[in-house]
Each structure stands twice: as C-alpha cells, then as structure tokens.
C-alpha cells in the first residue's frame, strides 16, 4: 500500500508553472516581444525542458506567445489592426453572451456590483485604480459566465485575457477610469431591469469606447516592443 507518497508526478506542477508564466505576462513583467528561452525557464522552475516545452505549447494554444521553428518562443505583440480585430470579435461574442445572460444573471450579485460601482465613483481615482481593474474584469466575467454556453465562455476568456495582456486599458488616466465607471454603472442598471435592448446598446458602445482607448494607449507608448 502507498503511504503518504508525496504526489511526485501530479501535473499540478505543470499547471502551476503555466499560471506563473501567465501572471508574468499579464502583469507586464514579460513584455510583448520578449523571448522565452526554454533552458532558462527550466532552470528557474527546476524542472526539465520537457515540462517547459509543454507549458509553452499551452501558452501557444491560448494565443499568448508565438513560436517559430528553430527560433523559439516570444510573447505576442500586436499592431493596431490586431487590437481593432480583437475588440470587434469581443464585441460580437459578448453581445451573444448577453442575449442569454440577461435573464440568467441572479439579482443579488447585480445589486452588489451596482453598489460597488457607486462606491468607486465617489472615491479618489488614483488610489483606487487596481480595484477598478479588478471589478472591471470581474464584472465582464460575471456576464459571460451566465450565458450557458461553455465554448463561448472559453473563447471570451481567451479574448479577454489577450486584451488584458496588452495592458492597454488605460487605467492610469483619470478620465478613462471615471468614464468606464459610469458606463459600467449604466450597464448594470440595465441588467437589473432586464432591459436587453438598452443593455446591448450600452455594451456595444462600451466596448467601442474601450477599443478607441486601447488604440490611443497603443499609439501613446511606442517603443516598448517592435512590431513584426
């Protein structure tokens, strides 16, 4: 019989490394264009290259890195066109999700979100930026988690993650934060009223606005990574 044999091969290791690298991409430590060297990562996480390779394939699957034969892996970088494309897709999919979510989202969390948005609106913007980001992500995730279409959720998570990884949301800018907050508040109120038509219009506008913002940010900071 097996004693407390510590789970020597658990695949949990692989997932943890994936999460770790993902975080490093999302929080901006690994910027677009940076090369991910297999040996380096293997040493960092004290596993064999085999594991790292599989993690890289997973990141590839999630569109977070690019891979060139014999030339390694690098964090994706986007042209303005790509950003525009991504937002258009997101709009379509999120509107699709909304159609069924509007009646499936339970009331209490919606009220909680409304409350939270009100609170944030009355606080100083600069200090609360991280919380704004957090609530923003949670809110959108909340919507599409209630669309009852697993595959759609998967696609949306993928797209959201990509957009987030670009770090183009513009939460450094005060007016952006304020305006986003207002849009979210209006949205959640439409949700509470189960008013699909209004919600669709607001969501569509909201995503268009985010897109314009992202593009502005992208132009603002040229030079962090060359585009192919």
Partner DNA sequence: GTCCGGTCAATTGTATACACTTTCGATGGG
Partner DNA sequence: CCCATCGAAAGTGTATACAATTGACCGGAC
Residues forming the site for DNA (CB under 7 A): 1, 5, 7-11, 13-14, 35-40, 47-51, 53-54, 67, 69-73
Q: Is 122 a binder of its own copies (CB under 8 A)?
A: no
Among 26, 60, 173, 196, binds its own copies (CB under 8 A): 60
In the complex, minimum distance from the CB of residue 4 to its own copies, in angstroms, rounded to a whole number: 19
13, 26, 47, 96: residue in contact with its own copies (rule CB under 8 A): 96
Does position 123 bind its own copies by CB under 8 A?
no
Residue 51 vs 169, nearer CB to DNA: 51
Pairwise CA distance, residues 121 & 103, whole Å: 27
Q: What span, in angstroms and rounded, lies between the C-alpha atoms of 14 and 20?
A: 10
**Minimum CB–partner distance for residue 9 and DNA (Å):** 4
Q: Which stretch binds its own copies (CB under 8 A): 29-37, 117-125, 143-151, 174-182?
A: 143-151
Question: Which of positions 2-21 make contact with its own copies (CB under 8 A)?
Answer: 11
Do residues 165 and 26 lie in contact, with contact meaning Cβ atoms separated by under 8 Å? yes
Q: Which stretch binds its own copies (CB under 8 A): 26-34, 78-86, 123-131, 189-197?
A: 78-86
Are 65 and 26 within 8 A, CB to CB? no
- Give least dist CB 52 to its own copies, A: 13
SS3 104: coil
User: Does residue 64 contact residue 165 with C-beta atoms inside 8 Å?
Assistant: yes
Give min distance, CB of 75 to its own copies, in A: 17
With binding defined as CB under 8 A, does residue 151 bind its own copies?
yes
Query: In terms of C-beta distances under 8 Å and separation of at least 24 residues, what long-range contacts does 71-76 make, across chains too?
Result: 72/35, 72/36, 72/37, 72/38, 73/35, 73/36, 73/38, 74/33, 74/34, 74/35, 74/36, 75/25, 75/30, 75/31, 75/32, 75/33, 75/34, 75/36, 76/32, 76/162, 76/165
Closest distance to DNA from the beta carbon of 227 (Å):
17
**Cβ at position 77, least distance to DNA in Å:** 16
Nearest CB to DNA, comparing residues 70 and 126: 70
Q: Residue for token digits 């669309």? A: 147
Question: Which of DNA, its own copies, none is residue 1 near (CB under 5 to 8 Å by kind)?
Answer: DNA
Measured between alpha carbons, how far is 34 from 65 in angstroms, rounded to an integer? 10
């Amino acid at each position: 019989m097996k004693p407390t044999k510590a789970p020597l091969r658990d695949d949990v290791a692989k997932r943890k490394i994936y999460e770790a690298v993902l975080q490093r991409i999302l929080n901006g430590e690994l910027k677009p264009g940076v090369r991910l060297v297999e040996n380096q990562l293997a040493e960092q996480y004290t596993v064999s290259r085999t594991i790292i390779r599989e993690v890289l394939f997973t990141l590839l699957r999630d569109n977070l890195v690019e891979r060139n034969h014999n030339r390694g892996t690098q964090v994706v970088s986007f042209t303005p066109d790509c950003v525009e494309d991504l937002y258009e897709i997101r709009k379509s999919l999120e509107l699709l999700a909304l159609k069924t979510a509007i009646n499936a989202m339970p009331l209490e969390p919606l009220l909680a979100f409304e409350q939270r948005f009100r609170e944030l609106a009355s606080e100083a913007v600069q200090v609360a930026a991280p919380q704004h980001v957090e609530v923003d992500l949670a809110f959108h995730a909340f919507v599409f988690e209630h669309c009852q279409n697993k595959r759609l959720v998967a696609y949306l998570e993928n797209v959201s993650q990509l957009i987030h990884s670009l770090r183009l949301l513009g939460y450094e800018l005060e007016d952006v934060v304020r305006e986003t907050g207002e849009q979210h508040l209006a949205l959640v109120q439409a949700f509470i009223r189960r008013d699909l038509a209004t919600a669709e219009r607001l969501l569509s506008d909201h995503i268009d606005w985010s897109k314009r913002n992202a593009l502005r940010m992208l132009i603002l900071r040229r030079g962090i990574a060359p585009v192919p």
